[in-house]
């Protein structure tokens, strides 16, 4: 059928209001489980330092003669460790006009942009904290950098045979070897090393690919369970808590920002998120018809004792 003559349709009208939803849809990942769940500490200088202590090796022959004079045992000194505090920031700039107009989905463009910048900054910090990047002391022309977790965790690791481990002080990076597919044996090996060192990791972080590989472990053989009193059955294909033969119980957290070829086993009591300046927002000087705000944190990680943690490195990622 044809449109009747002289019909005024929406194609002819110029006064119809736009249909723009007030909901802004964003699905980018924002969860940062490591910096959220580990301990917190306060730094007082740009170089954050702490001490570690080790006991003398256990002896099975610690026997003395009856009535013998006591023999002095050598004192066990502490070791001094340090990491740099890096400055991370995000800056939002909004023109005066944009702040004045009526925007869909937010009352203030600057307020909305600052919400986004805070989420972005936390993602950046989580990513940096888990990287294989050595610390940089910095100078007037070079930014300080925080040593990422992989440069620290070296005592309890399952790595490729041709890999070169770091010194475990944050001063150098792990050198990758030939990539290998993740196996349950690697889980057992890394956690057993941690147990032998006295560590008790309770938190595992890994990316989506390695989390799916963990779902294929032999212990995950029973995958269905009844739901309610009906006939519905839920298929479960996930390993969320891994219990190894030595009694370690590790909760596995998928993390978008962990390196794709790494699995970390973390003891949250021996890893801290350190701030010299905690997250803060300030107005920047106006240079024209715009508003500028900066959100900033000066932070580091304190790997209280790297032998409390474990890692699996040099993994295939596809």
Q: Tell me the per-residue pLDDT of 10-68, one tens digit each, with 9 for 90 and over.
A: 777 777 777 777 777 777 778 899 999 999 999 999 999 999 998 888 889 998 999 99
With cut-offs at 50, 70 and 90, classify the pLDDT of residue 152: very high
How far is the C-alpha of 119 from the C-alpha of 219, rounded, in Å? 37
How far is the C-alpha of 36 from the C-alpha of 250, rounded, in Å? 17
Q: Which helix (H) or strand (E) holds 83?
A: strand 79-84
Instruction: Dump pLDDT digits (tens) for 215-233.
Output: 999 865 666 565 666 667 7
How far is the C-alpha of 125 from the C-alpha of 119, rounded, in Å? 10
How far is the C-alpha of 276 from the C-alpha of 266, rounded, in Å? 23
Q: Which CATH architecture group holds 42-48+80-312? A: Alpha-Beta Complex (3.90)
What residues does 241 pair with on adjacent strands? 251
Angle at 282 between CA 276 and CA 285, to 5 degrees: 125
Angle at 187 between CA 183 and CA 192, to 5 degrees: 140
Task: For the chain, give every domain's residue range.
Answer: 42-48+80-312
If one compares 219 and 113, the residue with the highest pLDDT of the two is: 113
Task: Count Cα atoms within 13 angstroms, Cβ side, for 301.
Answer: 34
Q: Tokens at residue 5, please?
A: 């003559």
pLDDT at position 228 is 62
With cut-offs at 50, 70 and 90, classify the pLDDT of residue 102: confident
How far is the C-alpha of 306 from the C-alpha of 318, rounded, in Å? 29
Picking from 296, 70, 84, 92, the residue whose alpha carbon sits closest to that of residue 169 is 84
Q: How far is CA 247 from CA 194, 267, 297, in A?
A: 12, 15, 38
What is the rounded average pLDDT of the residues 205-222? 87
């Amino acid at each position: 059928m044809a449109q009747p003559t002289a019909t005024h349709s929406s194609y002819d009208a110029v006064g119809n209001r736009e249909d723009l939803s007030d909901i802004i849809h964003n699905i980018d990942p924002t969860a940062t489980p490591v910096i959220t769940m580990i301990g917190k500490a306060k730094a007082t200088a740009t170089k954050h330092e702490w001490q570690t202590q080790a006991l003398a090796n256990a002896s099975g022959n610690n026997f003395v003669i009856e009535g013998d004079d006591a023999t002095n045992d050598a004192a066990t000194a502490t070791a001094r460790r340090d990491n740099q505090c890096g400055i991370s920031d995000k800056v939002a700039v909004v023109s005066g006009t944009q702040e004045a107009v009526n925007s869909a989905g937010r009352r203030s463009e600057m307020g909305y942009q600052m919400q986004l910048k805070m989420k972005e900054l936390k993602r950046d910090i989580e990513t940096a904290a888990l990287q294989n990047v050595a610390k940089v002391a910095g100078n007037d022309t070079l930014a300080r950098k925080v040593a990422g977790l992989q440069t620290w965790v070296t005592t309890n690791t399952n790595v490729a045979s041709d890999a070169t481990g770091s010194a475990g002080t944050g001063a150098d990076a792990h050198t990758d070897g030939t990539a290998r597919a993740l196996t349950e044996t690697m889980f057992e090996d890394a956690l057993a090393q941690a147990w032998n060192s006295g560590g008790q990791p309770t938190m595992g972080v890994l990316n989506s690919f390695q989390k799916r590989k963990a779902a294929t472990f032999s212990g995950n053989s029973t995958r269905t369970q009844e739901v309610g009193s009906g006939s519905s059955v839920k298929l479960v294909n996930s390993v969320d808590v891994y219990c190894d033969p030595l009694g370690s119980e590790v909760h596995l957290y998928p993390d978008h920002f962990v390196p794709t070829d790494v699995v970390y086993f973390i003891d949250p009591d021996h890893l801290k998120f350190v701030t010299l300046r905690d997250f803060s927002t300030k107005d920047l000087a106006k240079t024209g018809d715009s508003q500028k705000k900066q959100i900033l944190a000066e932070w580091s990680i304190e790997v209280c004792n790297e032998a409390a943690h474990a890692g699996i490195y040099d993994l295939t990622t596809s």
